[in-house]
Amino acid sequence: MYEFNLAALKGYIAALPPALAATVWLSLLAIVCSLALGIVLALMRTNTNRLLRIVGGTYVEVLRNVPLLIIIYLFFFGLPAVGLRLSGWQTSFLALTFASAAYMAEIVRGGLAGVGPGQYEAARSQGMGAFQLYGYVVLPQVIRIAYAPFGNMCVAIVLGSSLASVVGVEEVTTWMHSAGSGSFRYLEAFTVAALAYVVLAQAINGLRIATGRWLLRHRNPGAPL
Amino acid sequence: MSDLAAVSSYWLLFAKGLGTTIWISWLALLIGSVVGGILAHLRLVPARPVRAVVVGYVELFRSIPPLMLFFGSYYGVSYALGLNLSPFVAATVALSLHASSMMSEVIRGGLQSVDSGQWAAGRASGMTNLQILSLVVWPQSFRVALPPAVGVYIATLKDTAVASVIGYVELTRSGLIVRENTGSSFLVFVIIAAMYFVVCYAISQLGAYWERRFRIVGHK
C-alpha cells in the first residue's frame, strides 16, 4: 500500500515560495497587460471605423480559437527563425497576455453593450463632457457588469500560467515536476502544488464575490440586476 | 519555399494528428458530460454532505491547471501506484476531470434556469420527480445549457494540445515531430495554429447558429 509521506519533500520545500512568487507575478502582469490590451481591442470593435472593427474582430477570433500552448511554441520556437529570440519568461508573458487580451476584449465589450444609448444621450443632454460621461456614467456601469467575468478570467490566467513550465520558467508546476520526480514522491508534490493553485483560485473568487457585494451595496435586495 | 515542400510532405502526420485531437476531445467531452451531468443533478439533492462533496470536486478540478492534471495522471499515478497508464489513458483521465467540472456548472446553470413553479406544477399534476425531470425540466434546460456547452467543448479541444507534454501524439505533438525532422519551426506552428483555428472557429459558429435557433423568447 502506498504511504503518503509529505516529509519526503523536505529538501524541495525551500524552492516553493520563489516558484509561487513567479506564478503570482507572471499572472498579475498578464492580467494587467491583457486588460489594457483588451480595452483597446474592445474600443476598436465598437468603433465607427470599419477597418478598426475588422482588425479588432479578427484578433479576438483568432486568439480565442488557438490553444495557448501553440502560441507559446510559436513564440519560443518559431520567432527565433525569423530573428527574434525571446526567453522562456518573455515568451510565456507575451503569449499569456496576447491570448487573454482576446477574452478581456469580449468581457469589456459585453460591459459596454450593457450601457444603453439612452445613457449616453441623457449624459450629453445634461451637458457632460467626454470625461464626465465615461467617468461617472459609463465606467461604473461597465464595471458592475464586467467584474464577475473578469474575476473568472483572472483564475483562467493563473491556470494558464502553468504552461510557462513548458518553456522552463521556474513556477509552481515546474516545482511540482522537479520535486516530484526528484524525490520519487510525485503524488505529494502534486498535492502541494494543487493546494497552491486552489488557494490562489479561491482567493480570487473571494475577492470577486466581495467586490460584487461592495459594488451592489446600494441595490435593494431582490431588485433585478 | 523548400521549407514548405519539406513540411508539406508530412501532411499525413498532420492529418492523423488532427484526427487524434478531435477523437480524444470528443471522448473527454462525452465522459465529461456524463460525469458532469450526474454531478449537476446531485447538487439538487437536499442532503448537504452530498452537495458539499460535489462542490468540492467541481471547485478542485476547476482550480487545478490542466497541465498539472496531465502530469498528475501520468507521472503521479505511476509513481504512487506503480501503475503505468499509457499517455492516451492519462490524457483522457486528465481532460475528463477538467471537462466534467466545467460541464457540471453548465448543466447546473441549465437546470436552475427552470423556474421552481415548473416543479410545483409538475407535482400538482401528479407527476413523479423523474417525469418532471425528463418531460419538463430537461427539454427546457437543454436550450439554456447548449451555448455554454459548446464553449466547454472548444476549451476542451484546446486543452488537448497540452496532452503533447506527456507524449500523446495528437496535433501539437505531430507538429513538434515535424519541427524536429525539418527544422522549420515557424511554418510548422503557423500551420498547426491555423488547423486549430479552423476547427474551433467552425464549432463556435455552429454554436452561435444553435444559440439563435434554440433561443427562448424572453430569456435573457
CA distance B91 to chain A (A): 16
Half-sphere exposure of B170 (CA within 13 A, CB side): 26
Sequence-distant (≥ 6) Cβ neighbours of residue B110 within 8 angstroms: B40, B141, B142, B144, B145
Residue A66 at interface with chain B, using a CB cutoff of 8 Å: yes
Residue A3 clears pLDDT 90, i.e. is over it: no
Say what the pLDDT of residue A223 is. 53
Q: Tell me whether residue A85 is in a domain.
A: yes
Residue A220 pLDDT class (50, 70, 90 cuts): low
Cα(A60)–Cα(B185) distance, rounded to whole angstroms?
Answer: 24
Cα(B211)–Cα(B220) distance, rounded to whole angstroms?
Answer: 12
Residues of chain B contacting residue A197, judged by C-beta atoms under 8 Å apart: 63-65, 68
Q: What is the CATH number of the domain that holds A79?
A: 1.10.3720.10
Cα(A16)–Cα(A65) distance, rounded to whole angstroms?
Answer: 33
Say what the pLDDT of residue B217 is. 63
Output A186 or A27, whichever has higher pLDDT: A27
Cα A140 to Cα A43, A136, B59: the distances in Å are: 17, 7, 30
What letter represents residue A24's amino acid? V
Q: Which among A67, A176, A202 has CB closest to B71?
A: A176
Instruction: Inspect the interface and report whether the beta carbons of A74 and B76 lie closer than 8 Å.
Output: no
3-state DSSP assignment of residue B35: helix
CA distance A65 to chain B (A): 5
Q: Tell me whether residue A102 is in a domain.
A: yes
Instruction: Inspect the interface and report whether the beta carbons of A163 and B189 lie closer than 8 Å.
Output: no
Cα(B179)–Cα(B190) distance, rounded to whole angstroms?
Answer: 12
Domain ranges in chain B? 2-213
Does B2-213 carry CATH code 1.10.3720.10? yes
Longest Cα–Cα distance of chain B, Å, equals: 74
Output A219 or A82, whichever has higher pLDDT: A82
Cα(A56)–Cα(A39) distance, rounded to whole angstroms?
Answer: 11
Say what the pLDDT of residue B79 is. 83
3-state DSSP assignment of residue B182: helix
Say what the pLDDT of residue B63 is. 94
Instruction: Inspect the interface and report whether the beta carbons of B79 and A184 lie closer than 8 Å.
Output: yes
Q: Tell me whether residue A187 is in a domain.
A: yes
What letter represents residue A91's amino acid? T
Per the structure, how many domains does chain A have?
1
pTM of the full structure = 0.91
Whether complex ipTM tops 0.90: yes
Cα(B131)–Cα(B110) distance, rounded to whole angstroms?
Answer: 17
Integer-rounded Cα Rg, in Å, for chain B is 21
Say what the pLDDT of residue B107 is. 97
The residues of chain B scoring below 50 in pLDDT are: none
Q: Tens digit of pLDDT for each residue in A93-137?
A: 999 999 999 999 999 999 999 999 999 999 999 999 999 999 999
Instruction: Inspect the interface and report whether the beta carbons of B193 and A202 lie closer than 8 Å.
Output: no
Q: Tens digit of pLDDT for each residue in A177-204?
A: 999 989 888 999 999 999 999 999 999 9
Residues of chain A contacting residue B179, judged by C-beta atoms under 8 Å apart: 77
Q: Tell me whether residue A220 is in a domain.
A: no
Q: Once rounded to an integer, what is the mean pLDDT over residues A72-94?
A: 94
Say what the pLDDT of residue A122 is. 94
Interface of B with A (CB under 8 A): 59-60, 62-68, 71-72, 75-76, 78-81, 154, 158-162, 164-165, 172, 175-176, 179, 184-186, 188-190, 192-193, 196-197, 200-201, 204
Residue A219 clears pLDDT 80, i.e. is over it: no
Cα B60 to Cα A14, A169, A202, A213, B65: the distances in Å are: 25, 24, 10, 24, 10
CA distance B142 to chain A (A): 23
- Copy the grid coordinates of residue B38: 450526474
Range of the domain at A25: 6-215
Q: Tell me whether residue A222 is in a domain.
A: no
